Amino acid sequence: MTINLVNYGLNANFEQAGKTAKGLALARVTEQHHNLYRIVTTQGERQATVAGKFAHENTDPTSFPAVGDWALVTLSADIAVIHQVLPRQSVLAREAVGDRKAGQVIAANVDTIFICMSLNADFNVRRMERYLTMAWDSQAMPVIVLTKADLCDDLPAKLAALSEVSMGVDVIVCSAKTGAGYDKVVAQVPAGRTVAFVGSSGVGKSTLINRLMGQTVLATKTIRADDDKGRHATTFRQLLVLPTGGIVIDTPGMRELQLYTGDLERTFADIATLATQCKFRNCTHTSEPGCAVQAAIQSGTLTTERFESYQKLQREMAYDGLNARQREQAKIDRMFGSKNEMKQVVRQAKAKNNRK
């Protein structure tokens, strides 16, 4: 059996990188179970582990293979051995407050991220803003997928609110009930393209993926849902090849993905542009004369809400990059409303760190 890896998303870059390595075969990581991986090569699917030398040389957990990675492997033994992970074109990672290196890669080499949000209870523009930030930061292209259109009676208002933050990102409105919008979703997953789905639980990600896959996966998903202990783990695929040729990455980690702050400048491109017109280069956009951001708020072209969520994200990002002591100091420096409030923020951040 010879497998054409192009069907698994192989592009010219990875193909080139794979050719230069003598004696090593090219593989894509399709599943990860702790230290055991599943890979696909031209010779079929195999289980794999990382080489001892690789484990020794890579102390940063984000250097280890993740679902979607392209890797160089040897296939001589029963279990294949991963010697090298090829440079990633995009990385979806889990938040790690204060210590980027403690982050965990949830998926690699994703081309398109479908940010799913339902048009009923889950709809929240501020949350979408944060998902977009995360998507830009990953280097994958976001597409906004609004689900459950059948349960929404004020679509124009919601779309208008969303347009304040979507910054030209494609928005698809769909419904599993009526089938509306599915053609547009399918069009965003052409053959060879790797996509991932993020969004709150219950917004309809599985429904969407099943629809893209056709009948077969529905059964697979039901098995998974019935047994979260993983007895049927082999039937749950983390990397799916759609009948139409697109590739879907759906790892457990993706389902638990927490929002985190990423490419602020890009998500708030409008504010970044305004800031270049402020009188002072180090303008904080609070009380300085000649502030273009405040002027935009006054004239109504920028909402206070949007500016506030920009400030909030900015604070969180600055906070993320500091160590524990610096963080405490930074909070005090910034003078929170009260010292208690400051303590509470630090406590929350620590609790968050400990939970990992």
Between CA 172 and CA 151 the distance in angstroms is 15
Confirm or deny that 312 is annotated as ligand binding: no
Site residues (vs ligand GTP, CB under 6 A):
147-148, 150-151, 175-177, 201-207, 255
CB of residue 275 to Zn ion, shortest distance in Å = 6
Helix (H), strand (E), coil (C) string for the chain: CCCCHHHHCCCHHHHHHHHCCCCCEEEEEEEEECCEEEEEECCEEEEEEECHHHHHHCCCHHHCCCCCCEEEEECCCCCEEEEEECCCCCEEEECCCCCHHHCEEEEECCCEEEEEEECCCCCCHHHHHHHHHHHHHHCCEEEEEEECHHHCCCHHHHHHHHHHHHCCCCEEECCCCCCCCHHHHHHCCCCCCEEEEECCCCCCHHHHHHHHHCHHHHHHHHHHHHCCCCCCHHHCCCEEECCCCCEEECCHHHHHCCCCCCCHHHHCHHHHHHHCCCCCCCCCCCCCCCCHHHHHHHHCCCCHHHHHHHHHHHHHHHHHCCCHHHHHHHHHHHCCCCHHHHHHHHHHHHHHHHHC
CB of residue 118 to ligand GTP, shortest distance in Å = 7
Query: What is the CA 154 to chain-centroid distance, rounded?
Result: 28
Q: Which is nearer to ligand GTP, 146 or 345 (CB)?
A: 146
Single out the residue of 96, 195, 271, 291 in contact with Zn ion (rule: CB under 5 A). 291
Q: Which is nearer to ligand GTP, 201 or 340 (CB)?
A: 201
**Residue 285 near which of Zn ion, ligand GTP, none (CB within 5-8 Å, type-dependent):** Zn ion
Confirm or deny that 149 is annotated as ligand binding: yes
CB of residue 238 to ligand GTP, shortest distance in Å = 14
Single out the residue of 217, 293, 342, 349 in contact with Zn ion (rule: CB under 5 A). 293
Q: Which is nearer to ligand GTP, 147 or 267 (CB)?
A: 147
CB of residue 41 to ligand GTP, shortest distance in Å = 30
CB of residue 201 to ligand GTP, shortest distance in Å = 3
Contact 16, 72 (CB under 8 A): no
Confirm or deny that 168 is annotated as ligand binding: no
Confirm or deny that 205 is annotated as ligand binding: yes
**Residue 206 near which of Zn ion, ligand GTP, none (CB within 5-8 Å, type-dependent):** ligand GTP
Q: Is 278 in the site for Zn ion (CB under 5 A)?
A: yes
Single out the residue of 66, 80, 117, 283 in contact with Zn ion (rule: CB under 5 A). 283
CB of residue 56 to ligand GTP, shortest distance in Å = 37
Confirm or deny that 118 is annotated as ligand binding: no
**Residue 175 near which of Zn ion, ligand GTP, none (CB within 5-8 Å, type-dependent):** ligand GTP
Confirm or deny that 153 is annotated as ligand binding: no
Annotated binding site: 147-150, 199-207, 278, 283, 285, 291
Binding site for Zn ion (CB under 5 A): 278, 283, 285, 291, 293
Annotated binding site for Zn(2+): 278, 283, 285, 291
Annotated binding site for GTP: 147-150, 199-207
